[in-house]
Amino acid sequence: MFRTPQVDDLNVVNQVRLVSPERLHDELPLSEAAKKNVLAGRDAIKRILDRADPRLFVVVGPCSIHDPQAALDYGRRLAALAKEIADTMFLVMRVYFEKPRTTVGWKGLVNDPDLDDSFHIEKGLRIARRLLLDLNELGLPCGTEALDPITPQYLADLVSWSAIGARTTESQTHREMASGLSMPVGIKNGTDGSRTVAINALLSVSQPHAFLGIDPEGRCALTYTRGNKYAHIVLRGGAAPNYDTASVTLTEQELERAGLPRSIMVDCSHGNSGKDPARQPLVFADVVHQIVEGNRSIVGAMIESNLEWGNQPLVERSKLRYGVSITDACIDWPTTERTLREAGHKLSAALSRR
């Protein structure tokens, strides 16, 4: 049946078929080493959320990935540090390929891998999957934001932790998707700082859903889920920070009233740092202090970190500085090492009491 030109696709210029998830998996298969690492990463985070493991899990890495070579360089360093401080913290590399935009801007490596608005999405999916394979084969678990509801079919088998961002926490589509994801999911509070939106999302994500999606062959399919029992709130601030003791206590109370586990993750960036990277170590130190003082609800933290400090404007690729973010400003690698090592020393005695 032909479409009616006067009615259908009036604002659609073109459509290009993508490789199916199944075919991409065949081209870049999940190796046995990567599979073991993904499952071990998910299990470790679940054990922390279940309070069977007293450690803090920390999702740390670049605000976004735009240079796979620099990301792998960062990953090698993080994998070594993860082994060094494994007694107190479980490190997950932040590997964000998709960026939500309030208006317009670069939408991430999957959407625009060439950084020039050419939108070679199939190329972006291949680069992203290759990088996730390489990082997992280093023994490094990966975390990302689940933004486009189709992307997980291509990449989720290589992810140990996912986030639903502040702009999409209120979205029914993203709540339904999260209910079917195979890994623990962090649900961020709204951009205005509202925890109610996140708590409503947690209640929804924990329940079964049925929604439209795609199957491994790329065909439209009705998807049924059983609900995600390992969803947890992420405090990322808003108009004001919300990582302090009072905010954490209020969050505990709201979770308890909703009948939800008192599992809290603190994002040390975004609204909690005022997007000033220099404040991230201070926020993280406060989180660690709360744990040392006896807090049992804080189970995770997130830090935006890169090889080099700060950020840079998106310009011609050849002019970009190596290891510097093109989205939010990050702390550099030496600061990351120092911050995590100092936290490990402070946590070592406290964790036995959790």
Mean pLDDT of 282-310: 98
Residue 193 placed within a domain: yes
Rounded (5°) CA angle 171-67-157: 50
**Per-residue pLDDT, 9:** 85
What's the rounded Cα separation, in Å, for the pair 205 and 258? 13
Contact 88, 53 (CB under 8 A): no
Reported as a single tens digit per residue, the pLDDT across 102-123 is 787 899 999 999 999 999 999 9
Is residue 1 predicted with pLDDT exceeding 70?
no
Contact 184, 46 (CB under 8 A): yes
What's the rounded Cα separation, in Å, for the pair 234 and 187? 5
Angle between helix axes 245-257 and 195-205 (nearest 10 degrees) is: 40
Residue 341 placed within a domain: yes
**Per-residue pLDDT, 330:** 98
Determine the residue type at 91: L
pLDDT bucket at 223, cuts 50 / 70 / 90: very high
Mean pLDDT of 29-42: 98
**Per-residue pLDDT, 158:** 98
Predicted structure pTM score: 0.96
Residue 8 placed within a domain: no
Calculate the CA 44 to chain-centre distance: 16
Is residue 6 predicted with pLDDT exceeding 90?
no
Residue 211 placed within a domain: yes
What's the rounded Cα separation, in Å, for the pair 333 and 339? 10
- Any alpha helices (H) in the chain, and if so which ranges? 21-27, 32-49, 68-84, 121-137, 152-155, 172-180, 195-205, 245-257, 280-292, 333-350
Q: What is the DSSP string of 223-252?
A: EE----TTEEEEE--SSS---SHHHHHHHH
**Per-residue pLDDT, 47:** 98
Is residue 177 predicted with pLDDT exceeding 70?
yes
Mean pLDDT value across the chain: 96
Dihedral angle of Cα 344, 346, 348, 352, to the nearest 10 degrees: -130
Residue 2 placed within a domain: no
Residue 15 placed within a domain: no
Residue 9 placed within a domain: no
Mean pLDDT of 297-301: 98
Counting the structural domains of the chain, the total is 1
What's the rounded Cα separation, in Å, for the pair 301 and 295? 14
Mean pLDDT of 125-144: 98
Q: What is the DSSP string of 103-147?
A: SSS---TTT-TTSSS---HHHHHHHHHHHHHHHHHTT--EEEE--
Q: Any residues with CB less than 8 A from the CB of 222 and at least 6 apart, and which?
A: 210, 211, 212, 213
**Per-residue pLDDT, 3:** 65
**Per-residue pLDDT, 352:** 87
What's the rounded Cα separation, in Å, for the pair 55 and 344? 10
Mean pLDDT of 317-333: 97
CATH code at 255?
A: 3.20.20.70
Is residue 12 predicted with pLDDT exceeding 60?
yes
Residue 269 placed within a domain: yes
**Per-residue pLDDT, 151:** 97
Q: How many CB atoms lie within 10 A of CB 114?
A: 12
Domain that holds residue 116: 21-353
Q: What is the DSSP string of 315-343?
A: --GGGSPTT-BSSS-BB-HHHHHHHHHHH
Nearest to 67 by CA among 104, 139, 115: 115
Reported as a single tens digit per residue, the pLDDT across 67-105 is 999 999 999 999 999 999 999 999 999 999 998 887 878
Is residue 268 predicted with pLDDT exceeding 80?
yes
